[in-house]
Amino acid sequence: MRKAIWDEYRSKLKSADEAAKLVKSGDAVYYSHFVMFPRNLDAALARRVGEVQDVRIVNVCGMYPAQVATADPEHQSFIYQSSFFSNADRQLSKKGLCYFVPSNYSEAPKKVYKGDLPKPKVVFVKTTPMDENGFFNFGTSVSYIRAACDLAEKIIVEVNEGVPYCLGGANENVHISEVHSIVETEKAPLMAIPRAQASEEEKKIASYILPEIHDGSCLQLGIGGIPNMVGSMIAESDIKDLGVQSEMMCDAFMDLYLKGKINGKYKYSDKTKMIYTFCMGTADLYDFLHRNPACATYMVDYTNTPEYIARNDNMISINNTLQVDLWGQVCSESQGRKHISGSGGQADFVMGASKSKGGKSFLCMRSTRMMGDQKISRIVPDITGIVSVTRAGAQYIVTEYGKFYMKGKSTWEVAEGIISIAHPDFRDELIKAAEDRGIWRKRNKQA
């Protein structure tokens, strides 16, 4: 049996250029996501510019600049799209080379199966080397690539010995029998993401959140300084028996696990396991994940569907945001017309944590940002970007000046609470804006 598997493996070996020639005009080609971006296959497909027309590339947060986009600025051969912008995607977008597809992350597999997203014809997926049973592992990004593989006519794997073998509950592998072509590449480490260092303001924000976390809580942490700071504070606290249900596996979870803080004993399901759908972090984190049975990676509809999140009591969701207005609307993906990231799974976890018994969702930001040498308030009269979480959806808003609980509040109470955690330099003008909008209670005005 093993000999048959390896015979099949050798029969399917191709160069990247040979594999890229399998793409035809009009095909939708799905790339694997985040740091699993298939760089060699992308470069080979880009070399076919002018040979094919209207090939649509579907991706999520590609951490490297897509060569198919830069090779074809007129979009005659390739159209590149992403449903969450990385910095590389954002730079391409500024040049008109990358299009954004709005989506709640939990819905992505369903959109593939239903045909809301282009029907996959070819999948380019970076994987581990094949194991002794004939399986290639998707490494740090399961996301919804298995859904694309289920429908694709040709699955092409880009094998890299530097990819950790990430154990999971389902959908984290593709078998040699499903694979059309195999491209072997050099052993190259995955892109490492340095630990975000928390500012003094972010440390203060984390200090407001820590008292809301108790023994037995289940955690979701987003990317950035605040979630990592919360993790560091928990590590030094007496809090114990934590669980993890998160879309992203980050270094903070590794630290907490190694400190003995995480055991998952009170989770609804997947007890003893930290579940996630993608990972970005340090090289130490990737080493930690390799064949580690304490971690389980799933497709995103399992990790992010609000009803599944809410099954965990005392679910704690901590994410960054960019702007909040006096109505309580939250913008986490743009600054005005400047697109920053995407919807991602933030709304999924805000809703899931809010539905959880004892659950809490925290949307965090520093109260100001700098525009050149000018200080700008992140709390504004009206959102100037894209609403990521509605005023009815948000639960806790946190800045370095405090936290405010949104649920069940009238418009004037929301305005009052939001202004109370704004930077003091901007509170008077925000009060005036609330008066102009009829959402400032008269007794406040008289006081």
For residues 250 and 282, what is the distance between their CA atoms, to the nearest angstrom? 8
Contact 244, 218 (CB under 8 A): yes
Contact 246, 270 (CB under 8 A): no
| Cα-based torsion angle of the residue sequence 247, 252, 254, 257 in order, rounded to the nearest 10 degrees | -100
| Helix (H) or strand (E) segment spanning residue 75 | none
| Closest C-alpha to 350, from 385, 281, 384, 304 | 304
| Cα-based torsion angle of the residue sequence 224, 227, 228, 229 in order, rounded to the nearest 10 degrees | 120
For residues 31 and 48, what is the distance between their CA atoms, to the nearest angstrom? 17
Number of Cβ atoms within 10 Å of the Cβ of 185: 16
Contact 273, 295 (CB under 8 A): yes
Catalytic pick from 158, 247, 333, 400? 247
Q: How far apart are the first and last CA of the chain?
A: 82
The torsion region of residue 171 among left (phi > 0), alpha (psi -120 to 50) and beta comes to left
Contact 332, 318 (CB under 8 A): no
Q: Which residues pair with 362 in a beta bridge?
A: 318, 396
Residue type, 187: K
The question of whether 247 is a catalytic residue gets the answer: yes
Q: Which residues are catalytic?
A: 247
